[in-house]
Structure formats: structure tokens, C-alpha cells
């Protein structure tokens, strides 16, 4: 067997590389945000870009999210392709008007005559005791509001390929990266945060889910961290003779319904896992799709695991209690298969 | 302006206590984080923003405040909390994530709430400013002489909430003070790269209110300026902005690589430490003895030690308590 040497990158380096390649290709691409310059982004998404492109194209902003996200809208309307970083998704509160009343609606209200080819890049996720205002994912909050694509890749390969797609997309894209999947030295070290990334530019389509593990007995749907937890649970389920199929949604808007439906038709059981809040969220959306399109294929009620409708607590035992993990997925899956 | 010696002694004790508290917190935070630094590990996980070096702002303002006055603080809140008289045991327990904490372990270091002394803080830049505005509005509506103070960093002065709140405070002549601690950096971005004016006190002109500037982290000047601003607020003369030039000796958060500043910068700053300056002032200008100073220092140290012992000895909340307190 021929051995091929694979180039491995962390999530943050894959993201920064995607942005670098697009900045080299297209002079309209530039980056704005807090600490994206010399610091390289608090979660490393712009590492090395300031050194390469300088302050004209990698712009540190004041702590003025309404103004700099609004400015990205204005620049995008002029045909530029800004990438703006909202440091933590939790900070959306101060600038949501620009995001959902303007970025998400101007293309529609203009009858498609105004395009906003911008990327709103933001860090999501908890699990390291950063408490209620710095640990949310808020996937559904953004995905609920029409007019923006919302993507949340789980691997370095997809981070790069989907970022390139996002930059080239003529629509506003909310690009969420998970802090603990960035592969940063000062957070939990996960194997999942490092992976093969080709050197050249390539795209991964927005709106296409990925079956990351094939199985026949149960479908487990997740996104970002919960995909990796589901994969861990699936290994243990296999030891129990249960073959789990794991789907990485990758993209919330557009949502790849077909992949979910086909999988449920095959496995007849569905477990949805989300690091976001339970009610009115992604798990409910996927369950509704199953109910609408493949209810009679189900042999048991749909199960959901998500944050049980409380803000993310600070104290470790409290936070671990509310977040999904492989154990919870394993237990629920066993129950579901035995139902 | 007449300076009360008792006030200065209180300030010294408070600043010393803050310094002890933050030094001890830096040690506690480092526990379980070596040889590999992991932000989520150890007895104090998560982000940790310490105020070492920024003591004059909190002490020089809060010496003029009473229990009924409101203080809101940002993500770097320990010095304000201590100066406002927040229960030190319960505050420390909260930071250790314990059930005896101010928020039963739900809030953590950036989210400390002590309604007994009307103190709160939060993790979103500038968000506390309108909360203080509301407290000032309530004070005026109720006909009290209470004031509300929002402590913020210089970065927050570029948030809409800052300008919106000051306009309303000026319009309604509220007992409202914004203290801007200019510690020179918004995380990595120096003030000169984020703010179009040299100092934020000049922005007071935009709202027709008083603006004060305190140079070089000076505790005495902070005391004087705050005294005037608080008196003006209490007597219905309206809001003020105070900007103090201050310094954070540590990173934005513990673990900050600080690639954006020269390593010698802090060494130089520590040479003009405000606690030492105030100590010398008390000894040389106020006739205070070394013995008195030592007594204050011992008192502060033992209070801090006791708070940390209380926090460490307390129990963690039960995991399922995570589901409580969403609604009251």
C-alpha cells in the first residue's frame, strides 16, 4: 500500500489559510473585527493575516459591533467581500439589528438587486466554564431568521472548504466556528481539532450534510461538537452490536433535508443532538422534518438531547450537567434502539 | 479641597485588599493549569480578568458612595466589587463555582450580583452603562439622593450604549456617573488605535455635562474628582464622565500572550505603583504611622485569606441545580 503523507492543520490554521488564499485571489476580500490584527483573532481565525496583508486589509476595530458589522454591509453593497468577526456569538445582542434587519433582509427587500457578499464569522460553544454570556452556540437563533446562510463546520477540512465557499458566495453567510475545535493550545486538546487539509484552495458546498459514519440501526444527527461526541458514542454502541449512522449537518441554512430523510428511512430511528438550547431549536426542526417526511418509517419516537432550556451555568458540575456528551448520547441511543 | 484622612486610610486598606485578592486569585487560577495551560482546568476555570494596577479608580470613587448607591462593573469587576463592599466570602465562592457563592455557582467571575450593596457586573462590553442609568432614573423618580456609577473600560466608550445613555442622563439630569478606566488596551488594541479623541472626558462636551480627567493613576486626584462628581450628582446637578489613566499589570485575561506590548512596559509601571504612592503620602503628608499602615494591611490580608478559605471549603452545587432559578 502506498503511504501518502497528509498535511495536518488545526481548525484555526485551516480557517486562516482559507481567508489568506481568498485575499490573495480577490482584492475585494478584507477582514474587520476586534483583535483580528496583531493578535490574530482571539480564537486564532486570522492568525498571520495581519503580518501578510497589513492594516489596510486586516483591520482592528474599536469595540463597536453595530458600526463595523453595519459597515461591512455597506462595503458589501459596494461590491467588496468583507469578512467581519464577531468575537463571541454571544455578543450578537449589541448588533443584531444590523444582522437580522439589514444584512439578512436588504437582498430580499431590494428584490435581489442589492447583493451582500459578506461573511460574519463568529466563535461558538462552551464546556470550559466561560458562563452564560460567553458559551452559547445560538445556532437556531440565527437559523430561524430568513435571509442568511448559517454554517457550522466540524473539521479542519470543512472549515477551510466552507470558508472559501462562504467568501465566494454572493449571499451573507454566518460562519460559526467552535472554539474547542480550533485546536488552540490553551483549550481542551481534541483529536477532532486537527485533521488533513490540502494546501490548495478547494470548496465544500454550503447546504450539504455529511454522513461521517454509516450505520443501519439508528441515525444520530449532530453539528460541530455533538458530531464528535456522537462518533465517540457510536464506537461504544458498536461494541454493543448497534450500528449507528452519524450525520454532520455542517450547514443549518440551507439544511440538507434529503440526507436526513434517506438515513431515517434506512435506520428507522432518530436521535438529534445539539449544543444549543432544546426548545424551538435545531433538534425540533430535524424532528419535524422526520415527522413530515418519514413518520411511518420510524419504529420509535424521535429523541432529542440539547441544553435543557437554562442559560449555560458557570460552575463545572452545573455546566457538564446541561451540555451534551458521548455518555448521554450512548445511553439515549441504547434506550431508543431497545424501544 | 479638603481630604479626609479617614477616607484616605479606607482607600489604602481597600486598594491593598484588592491587590492581595487579585494576587491570590492569579495563584488560584494557575492551579491545575500547568504544565499545560487549559482554560477550563483547575479550581477556577474559564476566563479570568484581573485588575492588578487599577485599584485607584475603584477605591477613589467608592469611598464617596454609600450602600444605597448603585455600581455596575464590566468583565473585570473584582476591584469595584471589593470597594463597593460586596460580601467577600460569597464573591470568592462564586468565582470558585461553589453553592455558597453569590449566584450559587451559576454566574462566575464576570457575573457577580450582590443586591445587598447594589452591585452588579457583566461580560458584555458597555452593557452595564444603561443599567446604572436606570438606577439613576429610579433614584430621581423616588426623590432620593442616591447616585449610580457605571465603571467601564476605555473600549466601552465606543459602544452605542455609552453615547445613548449619556444623552439620556444629561437630558433628564440624572445622578449618573461614568468612570472610564483607561488601562490603555482593549484586549490587544491600544487606545490610540480605537478612539478618535485623546481622552474620553472631552466627550462630555457632546452632552453638555461635566468631564474630568485623572492623570497617571493618581489615587488622590481620583478621590478629589470623584468627590466633586458624586456631590454634583447627589445635589441634582446632573451626570459626569471621569476618565482615569490607569494601568493593567497583567494580560487582558490570565494566559494572554501579550504579543501586543513590550515586556518592559509593566516593569516600568510597577515602579510608580499607586499603592506605594498612597502609602508614602499617608506616611509623609498625613502623619500616619507605619504601625497603623501595618494594622490595615494585616486586616486586609486576613479578610482575603478568610474569603479564599471559605470558598475552598464550600461544596459544589448539585449538578441538577443547573435547572433551578431560570424563573423566580
Whether residue A200 has pLDDT greater than 60: yes
Residue B133 lies in a domain: yes
Contact status of A61 with chain B (Cβ, < 8 Å)? yes
Share above pLDDT 90 across residues of chain A, in percent, rounded to a whole number: 98
Query: What is the domain range of residue B122?
Result: 5-21+49-311
Q: Give the 3-state secondary structure of residue A294.
A: helix
Q: Which residues are within 8 A (CB) of B266 and not within 5 positions of it... i.e. 6 or more apart?
A: B247, B249
What is the count of structural domains for chain B?
1
pLDDT of the residue at A94? 95
Query: Could you tell me what percentage of chain B is helix, strand and coil, using 3-state DSSP and rounding each to the nearest 5?
Result: 50, 10, 40
CA B179 from chain centre, in angstroms, equals: 10
Residues forming a β-bridge with A213: A246
Residue B307 belongs to domain with CATH number: 3.40.50.970
Q: Which residues are within 8 A (CB) of A253 and not within 5 positions of it... i.e. 6 or more apart?
A: A142, A143, A148, A149, A150, A151, A207
pLDDT of the residue at A3? 56
Q: Are strands A218-222 and A270-277 parallel, antiparallel or unpaired?
A: parallel
Residue A102 is given by DSSP the state I
Q: Which residues are within 8 A (CB) of A299 and not within 5 positions of it... i.e. 6 or more apart?
A: A268, A269, A339
Give B263's pLDDT tier (boundaries 50, 70, 90). Answer: confident
* Model pTM above 0.90: yes
Q: What is the pLDDT of residues A227-245, one digit of tens each?
A: 999 999 999 999 999 999 9
pLDDT of the residue at A271? 98
Residue B35 lies in a domain: no
Whether residue B103 has pLDDT greater than 80: yes
Q: What is the largest CA-CA distance in chain B?
A: 57
Q: Which of A39, A130, A314 sits opposite B188 (nearest CB)?
A: A39
d(CA B147, CA B165): 15
User: How many CA atoms does the CB half-sphere of B150 hold within 13 Å?
Assistant: 31
Average pLDDT over residues A114-119: 96
pLDDT of the residue at A2? 55
Q: What is the pLDDT of residues B278-316, one digit of tens each?
A: 999 999 999 999 999 999 999 999 999 999 999 999 999
Whether residue B244 has pLDDT greater than 90: yes
Taking CA atoms, B261 is separated from A224, B61, B155, B191, B327, in Å, by 35, 29, 17, 13, 45
Residue A209 contacts residue A248 (beta carbons within 8 Å): yes
Residue A262 buriedness (CB in 10 A; 0-12 / 13-18 / 19+)? middle
Q: What is the pLDDT of residues A7-19, one digit of tens each?
A: 999 999 999 999 9
Q: What is the pLDDT of residues A2-49, one digit of tens each?
A: 556 789 999 999 999 999 999 999 999 999 999 999 999 999 999 999
Report CB contact under 8 Å: A66, B156.
Answer: no
Residue B317 lies in a domain: no
Residues forming a β-bridge with B245: B182
Whether residue B2 has pLDDT greater than 90: no
Contact status of A35 with chain B (Cβ, < 8 Å)? yes
Share above pLDDT 70 across residues of chain B, in percent, rounded to a whole number: 100
Whether residue A317 has pLDDT greater than 80: yes
Report CB contact under 8 Å: A62, B125.
Answer: no
Q: Write out chain B residues lying below 8 Å of A130, CB-based.
A: 39, 46-47, 108
Q: Write out chain A residues lying below 8 Å of B36, CB-based.
A: 185, 189
Residue B327 lies in a domain: no
User: Cell 428507522, residue?
Assistant: A268
Average pLDDT over residues A146-172: 98
Whether residue A1 has pLDDT greater than 70: no
Residue B130 lies in a domain: yes
- DSSP symbols for A106-121: HHHHTTT-S----EEE
CA distance A234 to chain B (A): 26
Q: What is the pLDDT of residues A270-305, one digit of tens each?
A: 999 999 999 999 999 999 999 999 999 999 999 999
CA distance B113 to chain A (A): 14
CA B118 from chain centre, in angstroms, equals: 14
pLDDT of the residue at A130? 97
Contact status of A319 with chain B (Cβ, < 8 Å)? yes
Q: Which residues are within 8 A (CB) of A3 and not within 5 positions of it... i.e. 6 or more apart?
A: none
Residue B94 contacts residue B103 (beta carbons within 8 Å): yes
Sorted by where each starts, the structural domains of chain A and their CATH numbers stand as: 8-196 (3.40.50.970), 210-338 (3.40.50.920)
Residue B148 lies in a domain: yes
Residue B37 lies in a domain: no
- B-contacting residues in A 180-239 (Cβ below 8 Å): 185-189
Q: Which residues are within 8 A (CB) of A121 and not within 5 positions of it... i.e. 6 or more apart?
A: A15, A33, A45, A83, A84, A85, A86, A163, A175, A176, A177
Report CB contact under 8 Å: A60, B193.
Answer: yes
Nearest to B22 by CA among B83, B65, B71: B83
From B96, which residue of chain A is nearest by alpha-carbon distance? A315
Nearest to B80 by CA among B213, B188, B180, B157: B180
Residue B65 lies in a domain: yes
Does the active-site annotation cover A134? Answer: yes
Report the run of H or E that residue A177 belongs to, with start and end: strand A173-178
Whether residue B262 has pLDDT greater than 60: yes
pLDDT of the residue at B57? 98
d(CA B91, CA A263): 50
Q: Write out chain B residues lying below 8 Å of A66, CB-based.
A: 160
Amino acid at each position: 500500500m502506498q503511504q501518502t503523507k497528509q498535511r495536518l492543520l488545526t481548525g484555526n490554521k485551516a480557517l486562516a489559510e482559507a481567508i489568506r488564499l481568498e485575499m490573495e485571489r480577490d482584492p475585494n476580500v478584507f477582514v474587520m473585527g476586534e483583535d483580528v490584527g496583531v493578535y490574530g483573532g482571539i480564537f486564532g481565525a486570522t492568525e498571520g493575516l495581519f503580518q501578510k496583508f497589513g492594516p489596510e486589509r486586516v483591520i482592528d476595530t474599536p469595540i463597536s459591533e453595530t458600526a463595523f458589522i453595519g459597515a461591512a454591509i455597506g462595503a458589501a453593497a459596494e461590491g467588496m467581500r468583507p469578512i467581519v468577526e464577531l468575537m463571541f456569538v454571544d455578543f450578537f445582542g449589541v448588533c443584531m439589528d444590523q444582522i437580522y434587519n439589514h444584512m439578512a433582509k436588504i437582498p430580499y427587500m431590494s428584490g435581489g438587486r442589492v447583493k451582500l457578499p459578506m461573511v460574519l464569522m463568529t466563535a461558538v460553544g462552551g464546556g470550559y466554564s466561560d458562563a452564560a454570556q460567553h458559551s452559547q452556540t445560538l445556532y437556531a437563533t440565527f437559523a430561524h431568521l430568513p435571509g442568511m446562510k448559517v454554517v457550522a463546520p466540524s473539521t479542519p477540512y470543512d472549515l477551510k472548504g466552507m470558508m472559501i465557499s462562504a467568501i465566494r458566495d454572493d449571499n451573507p453567510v454566518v460562519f460559526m466556528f467552535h472554539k474547542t475545535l480550533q485546536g488552540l493550545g490553551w483549550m481542551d486538546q481534541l483529536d477532532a481539532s486537527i485533521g488533513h487539509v490540502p494546501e490548495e484552495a478547494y470548496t465544500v458546498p454550503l447546504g450539504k450534510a455529511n454522513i461521517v459514519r454509516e450505520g443501519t440501526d439508528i441515525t444520530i444527527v449532530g453539528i460541530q461538537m455533538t458530531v464528535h461526541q456522537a462518533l465517540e458514542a457510536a464506537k461504544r454502541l458498536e461494541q454493543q452490536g448497534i450500528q449507528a449512522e452519524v450525520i454532520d449537518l455542517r450547514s443549518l441554512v440551507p439544511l440538507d433535508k434529503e440526507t436526513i430523510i434517506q438515513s431515517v428511512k434506512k435506520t428507522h430511528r432518530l436521535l438529534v443532538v445539539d449544543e444549543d438550547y432544546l426548545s424551538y431549536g435545531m433538534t425540533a426542526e430535524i424532528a419535524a422534518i422526520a415527522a413530515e417526511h418519514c413518520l411511518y418509517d420510524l419504529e420509535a419516537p424521535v429523541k432529542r438531547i440539547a441544553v435543557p432550556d437554562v442559560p449555560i451555568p458557570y460552575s463545572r458540575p452545573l455546566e457538564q450537567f446541561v451540555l451534551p456528551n458521548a455518555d448521554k448520547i450512548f445511553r439515549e441511543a441504547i434506550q431508543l434502539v431497545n424501544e | 479641597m479638603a481630604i479626609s484622612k479617614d477616607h484616605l486610610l479606607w482607600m489604602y486598606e481597600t486598594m491593598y485588599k484588592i491587590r492581595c485578592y487579585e494576587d491570590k486569585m492569579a495563584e488560584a487560577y494557575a492551579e491545575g493549569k500547568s504544565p499545560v495551560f487549559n482554560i477550563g482546568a483547575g479550581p477556577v476555570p474559564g476566563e479570568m480578568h484581573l485588575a492588578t494596577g487599577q485599584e485607584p479608580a475603584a477605591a477613589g470613587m467608592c469611598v464617596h458612595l454609600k450602600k444605597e448607591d448603585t455600581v455596575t462593573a464590566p468583565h473585570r469587576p473584582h476591584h469595584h466589587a471589593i470597594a463597593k463592599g460586596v460580601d467577600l466570602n460569597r464573591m470568592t465562592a462564586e468565582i470558585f463555582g461553589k453553592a455558597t457563592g453569590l449566584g450559587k455557582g451559576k454566574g462566575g467571575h464576570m457575573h457577580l450580583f450582590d443586591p445587598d450593596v447594589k452591585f452588579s457586573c457583566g461580560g458584555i462590553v458597555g452593557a452595564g452603562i444603561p443599567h446604572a442609568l436606570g438606577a439613576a432614573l429610579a433614584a430621581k423618580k423616588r426623590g432620593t439622593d442616591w447616585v449610580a456609577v457605571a465603571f467601564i473600560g476605555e473600549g466601552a466608550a465606543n459602544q452605542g450604549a455609552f453615547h445613548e445613555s449619556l444623552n439620556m442622563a444629561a437630558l433628564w439630569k440624572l445622578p449618573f456617573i461614568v468612570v472610564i478606566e483607561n488601562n490603555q488596551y482593549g484586549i490587544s488594541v491600544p487606545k490610540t488605535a480605537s478612539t478618535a479623541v485623546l481622552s474620553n472626558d472631552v466627550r462630555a462636551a457632546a452632552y453638555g455635562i461635566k468631564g474630568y480627567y485623572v492623570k497617571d493613576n493618581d489615587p488622590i486626584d481620583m478621590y478629589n474628582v470623584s468627590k466633586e462628581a458624586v456631590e454634583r450628582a447627589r445635589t441634582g446637578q446632573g451626570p459626569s464622565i471621569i476618565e482615569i489613566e490607569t494601568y493593567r499589570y497583567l494580560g487582558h485575561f490570565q494566559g494572554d500572550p501579550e504579543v501586543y506590548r513590550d515586556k518592559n512596559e509593566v516593569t516600568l509601571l510597577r515602579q510608580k505603583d499607586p499603592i506605594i504612592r498612597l502609602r508614602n503620602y499617608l506616611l509623609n503628608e498625613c502623619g500616619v504611622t507605619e504601625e497603623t499602615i501595618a494594622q490595615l494591611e494585616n486586616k486586609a490580608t486576613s479578610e482575603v485569606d478568610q474569603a479564599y478559605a471559605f470558598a475552598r471549603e464550600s461544596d459544589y452545587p448539585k449538578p441538577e441545580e443547573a435547572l433551578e432559578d431560570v424563573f423566580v
